[in-house]
Amino acid sequence: MRDVFICHASEDKEAIVRPLVDAFMEAEITCWYDEAEIQWGDSIVAKIDEGLRISRYVLVVLSATFVQKPWPQKELNAALNQEASTGEVRVLPLLVGTKQEQERILSKFPLLRDKLYLSWSSGVGSIVKAMRDRLGRAGRAGCDEDLSPTQKAVPRMPMPRL
């Protein structure tokens, strides 16, 4: 089992996904992401299906490039479908970009407007802390001492408009 599957556009890998994966690994949060799991000759579809199946949550990196890519949108749709059919929280949205870009992203995915989301601008440490909280590991000894003062900041979680 993995704690989180990271759904993203390949263009977001360098600036967002790799730093996030590194921070999760330091915090002992297990994650599934394509680069580490899919090897030469593997069936991409089978590996992604497996990753979605064995991961407790799906962290979706929602960016301007994400909305242009059909493949990560299929991953998001699969996770939303599972969430709707089971009633269990699976999708954890992470919005990237300016306020205007975030608004365009949310307008493309109306079902996500129902969710509390994190913003990439709040920093990797805030995302790690929120993930620990979600996993029920917030009180683990020694975790927060490893974070810098800026990483310990309270995450900015905008409420959806009603």
Per-residue pLDDT of the chain (162 residues; tens, 9 = 90+): 999 999 999 999 999 999 999 999 999 999 999 999 999 999 999 999 999 999 999 999 999 999 999 999 999 999 999 999 999 999 999 999 999 999 999 999 998 988 999 999 989 999 999 999 999 987 654 444 444 433 333 333 444 444
Spatial contact of 117 and 60, defined as CB atoms under 8 Å apart: no
Tens of pLDDT, residue by residue over 71-118, are: 999 999 999 999 999 999 999 999 999 999 999 999 999 989 889 999
Told to judge if 75 belongs to the known catalytic residues of this protein, a careful annotator would answer: yes
Active site residue: 28, 35, 75, 88, which one? 75
How many residues does the structure list for the chain? Answer: 162
Residues 49, 28: Cα–Cα separation, whole Å = 23
**Predicted TM-score of the model (pTM):** 0.83
